Structure 1
Amino acid sequence: MMWEEDEPEVPVKLADDVVDLVFNIECKSLPLDHSYALSSAIQGLLPWFEALEQSGLHLIHGAASGNGWIRPEASDAVLYVSRRTRLTLRLPRSHLQQAQALSGEALDIAGHILQIGKAREKPLAKTDILFSRYVLSNEQDSDEDFLKTAMAEIKRLEINCRKLMPGRGHQFQTLQGTVFTRSLMLADLSFEDAIRLQQAGLGQGRKQGFGLFIPHKGIQAVNQAKQD
């Protein structure tokens, strides 16, 4: 009789050279479309931020609704910021100390003052579901076209994923003009691929808050994004 046991799984060491740096903030309100203004203010204090390939900015989203308040949709609307809201940068570990220079600074975001406090390090998520609220897209593309473009980029990154779902589109004003984004959820990822995608992002514009992924519990992410 021959009896071969399964080979023991070899634990995969997940890369941890890119992390999120999460800052406490004090801020009453921000423009709903604060991508360009916030990115410019950060680059003014961190001149290396734009050129650093793995750096990225998480836009401040805020709650969808609460206590009778509903998140506005117009691009010129104002977003009211709760005390729990944080400012988050995605950075290689090599630049964490330099980014601490933001602590204690007050940023003028299109006339709204954002005071930056202390920061803490947060590792990228070990998860099988990732979600990005804002992936750059062609406004004229169908959902199918958007998914084809996204899948081509995912394959270029050598990430194995067969479950993608697009969500609602948004417009942003940049120095180059109006840009359009769609939300995107990916499911059934390996932890290794999830870390790689969080590190790399998808498409262009990560310094302006586009193409960065965060963990999410499930398909409700996209359904919520369609309502936000």
Structure 2
Amino acid sequence: MSDQNRFLEIHYSLRGKTLPADHGYALYSAIKQQLQKLGYENLPSDLRLSTIPGVPNHEGVVYLNQASRFRIRCLSDQVQTWYRFFQNQVLDIQGHLIRLVQPRITLPKPSRTLAARLVTFKLEAIDHLEMPHYFLESCQKRLNHLGIQGRPFIPSDPNGDLARRTIQVKGKKVVGYRVIVEDLTPEDSLKLQWHGLGGRQHFGCGWFYPHKEDIDAA
């Protein structure tokens, strides 16, 4: 059985008030620090991390609410290990403290349309006007490599501009886009949720979820 047919999600509720809006790398760093206490040098490649949704104040902070969740994806035979590891874990995210509580194990849900808040690729230095074209080419090439039939596109923001996103990694700003992939079969939908698209996936990039969830992750 392939990996995409035997992975599970674990959802953790949160105790805390706020997070930095751009917290993907800081969240990764906090988790890595806890893992090192167990002898891990880096996060395992088959552990997927999401960023945490909240209500943005548009000044670099998001407020956590009852819908805010920290989510991971892992292989079914590792679920007990990660369930115990993250339960009641306290993470310091750039001075914002959160506790992970009340874990729930769920099956991933296939959906004809998936969305990712931020996808990034290592593109050569090109004119920004040309970047969406090369970015979508990279998305399509990766989908083809994975054997996924689907149509990727960059949606627009409420103001009508392309949904351009950034993430700060070690003081460097990395540019990407929000991505939606349509016309997926159930099998391809699960495959995309497991493999994701692009790089920096330990920082929450390339995390696809059913578009109907409409999560405005920070």
Give the TM-score taking structure 1 as reference length: 0.79
State whether residues 57 and 63 of structure 2, in contact with CA within 8 Å, keep that contact through their aligned partners in structure 1: no
> What is the match of residue 212 of structure 1?
207
CA offset digits 1:19-75 (Å, max 9, x no partner): 211111111000001111111111222345944222111111224xxxxxxx3445x
Cα 1:50–1:124 change in 2 (3 A) is farther
> What is the match of residue 92 of structure 2?
108
1:1-228 equivalences in 2 (<5 Å): 15-47=4-36, 48=40, 50-63=42-55, 71-73=56-58, 77-99=60-82, 100-137=84-121, 138=123, 140=128, 141-161=130-150, 163-167=151-155, 168-175=163-170, 177-217=172-212
Structure 1 regions of 5+ residues with no counterpart?
1-12, 64-70
2:171 and 2:93 map into 1 onto residues whose CA distance is 18
Give the counterpart letter for 1:104 in structure 2.
Answer: N
2:58 and 2:140 map into 1 onto residues whose CA distance is 28
Give the paired residue count.
200
Q: Which one is further off, 208-217 or 87-96?
A: 87-96
Shift of 1:217: 2.9
Give the counterpart letter for 1:38 in structure 2.
Answer: L
Q: Which one is further off, 40-49 or 125-134?
A: 40-49
Shift of 1:136: 0.5
2:196 and 2:171 map into 1 onto residues whose CA distance is 21
> What is the match of residue 10 of structure 1?
none
1:80 and 1:110 map into 2 onto residues whose CA distance is 15
SS in 2 for 1:30: strand
SS in 1 for 2:189: helix
* Structure label with greater radius of gyration: 1
> How high is the sequence identity, in percent, across the aligned residues?
25
Shift of 1:85: 1.0
What RMSD in Å do the two structures reach over aligned CA positions? 2.5
Cα 1:205–1:14 change in 2 (3 A) is closer
State whether residues 16 and 123 of structure 1, in contact with CA within 8 Å, keep that contact through their aligned partners in structure 2: no
State whether residues 16 and 124 of structure 1, in contact with CA within 8 Å, keep that contact through their aligned partners in structure 2: no
1:170 and 1:96 map into 2 onto residues whose CA distance is 31
